[in-house]
Every structure is written in C-alpha cells, then in structure tokens.
Structure 1
Amino acid sequence: MPDDVFIAINGDALHAKSKVYIGRALARKSAGDLDEYQLWASLALELLGKAALARKHPSLVVDPMHWQSMFVAAGINVTTDVKTITAKTLFERLAHLVPRFDKTVQKFCQDIAERRNAELHSADLPFRTMRLDAWEARYWHASDTILHEMGSSLEQWLGAADAKAPRQLLDEAAKALAAAVKLRVEAAREQFEALKRAERERLTAEAELREPQHQMGIFKGRYDEIWSESCPACKCRAFMTGEQTGEDISEERDEHAIWEVVDREFVGEEFRCPTCDLTLMGSDEIDASGLSYIHEDQQEREMEYEPDYGND
C-alpha cells in the first residue's frame, strides 16, 4: 500500500472526517433538527465506509475510469482532483469486505444515500418524511458493522459518552429482532406440528429429496451458492443462500495432481424452508434463529497452469 497517498483517499483522514460529521449529526439531534441529523449522519456513514475500503487499499475508493485517480491511489500524485466511487458502488464493495454487511444492511445504506441525494439535489424533502424509529437503529447497526471490520467500535468513533445512547438503541434493536425471530420460528413450528402425523411424515420425506441446485427459484435474490440446513422450526431439510467471502487452496495435494481442493467460505443472506414456509432475511435474523450464517465447504476443480515462456 502506498505510504504517500493523497489525503482525499487516505483511510485515516476519511475516518477522522467521518468522526467530525457524526459529531455534527449528534449536535443537530440534540438541537431537535432531525432533518440535518439524518443528513450529517448519511454523510458520516459514506465517509466511514470509504475509510474501511481505503484502509485495505486506496484504489478501492477511486473511480476506476479516471486514470489520474488510479495513479494517486498508487502513490503517484498527478492531480488533486481525485474522483471517488459512488455510494452505490461503495456499499456493493463493502458487502464483499465485511461479512455481516449483508444485502439487508446494504439496501438500508443505499436508501439513506439516495434520500440524501434527493435532499441536496432536488426540491424534495425526504428526510422530513422519515420517522426517527424508521431508520436510526438500523443506521447504528450499519455503522457498528463497518467499525467492527476496522477493529474499532461505536465507543471509539463517537467517544464513550456520546456512544451510550446508540449502544443502548442497538441493544434494544437486537433484543427486538431476537424476540421477533423467536416468535416467527415458534409460529412455523406450531403450524407444522398441527398437521396430522402422516402429513408431517410425507412432507419430511419430500423435503429430503430436494437438492440445493434446484432451489434457486425460492429465493428473492441471486447469490453465489445455495446449501442445505435443518429448519429450526419443522426440522425438515431447508436451504440457505449467500455470498462467497473467501477461499483458500488446500495444501494437502499431490505435486503431480491436475485437480486442487479449494476451501470456500460463504455468509448466509437468505434462509427459506419450502416445508413450513419459514423465511429469514439477513445474517442477523439467521443468527437470531440459532442457525450459523457462516458456511464452509470444499470444491475440487482443475488446476490452472501458467504457460511456459522462453523454453522454445
């Protein structure tokens, strides 16, 4: 990573500016100006996300179509007019960097960025129509998720005193989510157990015949992989899907082999049970149900070899 990267895409500078902006946001909340609270908060969130990417490498936050910015990301300061990625691209990239930054969190972040753009660039007043309880808890959850990936926390980002209220709000939101998921699972379980025994046995047998590769149609989104899980409600074979977050080549292989074993890791985004219709969206709901949102498997694939040059 270049040491002399321009301040506009320096991870520490972006992080510091995000702290200034979230401080302004909380000041506006204290003054009762909830429109500006959300405005400054949305700006702070985008800066925080860019800080997380820039700390991995500055090239992750510059516009790849602007060659001058790519040079700056490499430590060659050919311009001060650095162009960075859009909020949409930012949150898409964070979804591949931060395990718990799932589709649900990504959509929330994109929505608040779009409201900010409408607030700044049109006559619309989208912040005024948003109730505080409709966005605040999810905002702190998204921020906390990014900060955790950066090895930081709300307490460090806001200062211990200022973080007390968001942390309490996060705890309350987590408890509410856990309670809601528990009730959802119990309702699905009761509905399944209310069926006659012969019907339950028939449905269980049918579930065992279902294969992951044939379940794409039951999910709302498109993901990298589908795998089977035991449903926490009816105990039948159900399915989860998610994005791949990493892979490693297994070291246990023959030097003359033409196949290699790859250890892959996925983060669950969506769970569905075709038998009892239980649905869980996002890693937080999956985790609250008692299922693991982390999935690991092995894949065997043909090895790729670099062509030999200069041996003619």
Structure 2
Amino acid sequence: MTKQIAPALSPEALLGKSKAYISRALAAKNTKDMGEYQLWASLALELLGKWALAEIHPCLVADPQGNALLAAVGINVATDIKTITAKTVFERLGHVSKRFDKKTEEHCTTMSLKRNAELHSGEVPFAAVLPGAWEGRFWHTAAVILDIHGKDIEVWLGIDPAKAPKQLMADYTHAIEEAAKIRVETAADQFAKLTKAERNAAQAHAKGADPLDMRRSFKMFAEKVWAIECPACKSNAFLAGVCYGEEASDDDNDPFEELVDVLYVAEEFYCPACGLRLGSREEIEAVDLDVEHTETEARQREYEPDYGND
C-alpha cells in the first residue's frame, strides 16, 4: 500500500499553493499594489522551488531536525512538519538544474531576505522597488524551475489560451517576454566567461553548421531551418519554422517555370555557439528577432490539358 505524504511535503500541495500565490501576486499587480505584488511573488517562487525538489523526492524539502524526514517517507508521527529554508531551497536547485546559476540563486535569496524583512520587521523593503528592477529575473527563474520537470509558465498560471481572460493572457505574455530577455542576458554572460580561444572555436563551429544538419537540434519537426545572428553571442544561429503560405513572385516572366515566394514563421531558436534556446514564437519576438522568413522557389509550370479539340 502506498503511504500518503503529508501536505507540507507533497509536490501536488506545494505546486497548488504556489499557483494560488502567483494568482494573488498578479491580482495585486493589476490593482497597482507593487509591494504586495512582490511579496506574493516571492512566496510563490519559494513554494515553486520546493515543489521542484519534492517532485524528485519529498526528503529534499524536509527539515532534517524533528519528524519531517519520517513524514517524507510516509511515516507520520506528528503534525508539526517543517520544511527547509528558502536559502537551502535555492542552493539545492543549483544542483538540480544547470540553468539555475549563481546569479539566479542570488536573485532568489535577495528576494526571500526582503520578504522576511517585510513580514518580520518594521521595514518595507518592497515599497520603493519598481517591477523593472526584479520582474524579468523573477519570470526567468520561474521558467527555469518549471522546466526541471518539463512544465512551463502557462501551466503555472493555470491558463488555457483559448479561454483565458484578456488580463491573464497579457500577464502570461509579459512573463514569457521577460523570461526570454533574461535568458539572452544569461547566455551572453556565460559566453563572455569563456576564454578567447573557446569563444572563437564555438563561433567557428557555428559558422560552419549546415541548416539541414541542424534540424536534429530542435524539438519540433521543422519544415525549414534558416540562419540568423544570435542576440546573445553574435554567432551564426538558427531558427526553425513551418510554412504558413505561398505567393506568386513578382519576378515571374518565364513561360516554363514559375517563381513562388514561400513564407515561413519561426517556432524555435537555437545557437550552437552559446547554447541559447528559445522555444516559442513569443520568446523569439521578445528578443527582437524576426520570426518571418521568405524563400523564392522555381517550379515547373503546370498547364491544364486542352479538352474537346481533337
């Protein structure tokens, strides 16, 4: 018989509570209460981190003092079950995800310290902080944590794009855009830390990459892959997309061949030099890359047969 894990350590309960708190955060933002927005956001992020660890095993979020470790394996001997501190959560996430780097850990720790000061002292550390100073890194961090178990911000916010109300959809789009911008910034920082020889080698490798061979680097089945400059490291990078239309070319004067402009739209981005990935059209557009691509193809003209003339 499967032993039931206490709600304090349950991945499902932790994720559900995190979802509730991020909803409260966005509600506060929409009423222009920026202090409360940050407060609920910081709580939601810590719970999201605990969810990611508990999904691996509840022991990873159990306080080693007391009865929490017993509860983590389904042996409940008391109701007072404590979890690890926010600082420990963010330290452990760095061992779980390579994308959860030191800068991300520092951002999370700073946010939790401000949250503690807000709740447990007379200070008001969130009062004078504008969203632009923390929001992008926050959404990036949430995306990194969710990706540990293959989830995305859409799941966390609990929205169905086909049914989402206008404001919630706007919040979702903003979150995706801010996370994408920080992802580019992070990739640029990591690339800059390489030696000059390593950077040159990576860029030379990317320059010699063939678009056809790059198809295997994308999750989607791409109808077309084309080259573009990486916004992070300025190397040769690639967009993968699908065809969304064809038009007769204006330069079409050959009686035997017709020129057709085939229009593609990008769905994924990948840079083989710095490793930057963007997994949606919204993310690609957020970092000012053109999602549209046109190629002209020459095709043999097809004529309808003549009928009734023999």
Asked whether the equivalents of residues 232 and 289 of structure 1 are also in contact (C-alpha less than 8 Å), the reply is no
How far apart, CA to CA, are the structure 2 residues paired with 1:21 and 1:165?
A: 18
Q: Name 1:169's counterpart in structure 2.
A: 178
Q: CA deviation at 1:175?
A: 5.1
1:126-137 correspondence runs (5 A):
126-137=125-136
| 1:14 paired to 2:23 | no
Deviations along 1:85-128, whole A, 9 cap, x unmatched? 00011111111111211111111100100000011111111111
Deviations along 1:229-276, whole A, 9 cap, x unmatched? 8342699xxxxxxxxxxxxxxxxxxxxxxxxxxxxxxxxxxxxxxxxx
Q: CA deviation at 1:21?
A: 0.3
Q: Percent identity?
A: 43
| 1:230 paired to 2:230 | no
Q: Name 1:4's counterpart in structure 2.
A: 4
Q: Name 2:304's counterpart in structure 1.
A: none
- Describe the SS at the equivalent of 1:290: coil
Q: Name 1:142's counterpart in structure 2.
A: 141
| 1:54 paired to 2:86 | no
Count of residue pairs brought into register by the alignment: 200
**TM-align CA RMSD:** 3.0
Q: 1:28 to 1:79 in 2, by over 3 A?
A: same
| 1:107 paired to 2:106 | yes
1:1-312 correspondence runs (5 A):
3-66=3-66, 68-158=67-157, 159=159, 160=161, 161=169, 162-174=171-183, 230-232=197-199, 290-291=273-274
Task: Specify the code of the residue in structure 1 equivalent to 2:197.
Answer: S
Q: CA deviation at 1:170?
A: 2.3
How far apart, CA to CA, are the structure 1 residues paired with 2:54 and 2:69?
A: 13
List gaps (5 residues or longer) in structure 1: 186-218, 220-226, 236-279, 281-286, 294-312
Deviations along 1:40-93, whole A, 9 cap, x unmatched? 000000000000111111111011122x11111110111111011000111111
List gaps (5 residues or longer) in structure 2: 162-168, 203-232, 234-269, 277-310
How far apart, CA to CA, are the structure 2 residues paired with 1:40 and 1:117?
A: 12
How far apart, CA to CA, are the structure 2 residues paired with 1:146 and 1:168?
A: 17
Asked whether the equivalents of residues 14 and 50 of structure 1 are also in contact (C-alpha less than 8 Å), the reply is yes
Q: 1:73 to 1:141 in 2, by over 3 A?
A: same
Q: 1:93 to 1:175 in 2, by over 3 A?
A: closer
- Describe the SS at the equivalent of 2:199: coil
How far apart, CA to CA, are the structure 2 residues paired with 1:96 and 1:181?
A: 20
Task: Specify the code of the residue in structure 2 equivalent to 1:290.
Answer: A
Q: CA deviation at 1:181?
A: 5.9
Asked whether the equivalents of residues 177 and 288 of structure 1 are also in contact (C-alpha less than 8 Å), the reply is no
For normalisation by structure 1, the TM-score amounts to 0.58
Asked whether the equivalents of residues 140 and 178 of structure 2 are also in contact (C-alpha less than 8 Å), the reply is no
Q: 1:100 to 1:163 in 2, by over 3 A?
A: same
For the pair shown, the structure with the greater C-alpha radius of gyration is 2
Q: 1:229 to 1:58 in 2, by over 3 A?
A: farther
Asked whether the equivalents of residues 8 and 82 of structure 2 are also in contact (C-alpha less than 8 Å), the reply is no
How far apart, CA to CA, are the structure 2 residues paired with 1:169 and 1:37?
A: 16
Task: Specify the code of the residue in structure 2 equivalent to 1:90.
Answer: V
Asked whether the equivalents of residues 181 and 288 of structure 1 are also in contact (C-alpha less than 8 Å), the reply is no
Task: Specify the code of the residue in structure 2 equivalent to 1:56.
Answer: I
Asked whether the equivalents of residues 34 and 130 of structure 2 are also in contact (C-alpha less than 8 Å), the reply is no
Q: 1:292 to 1:153 in 2, by over 3 A?
A: closer
For normalisation by structure 2, the TM-score amounts to 0.58
How far apart, CA to CA, are the structure 2 residues paired with 1:139 and 1:127?
A: 14
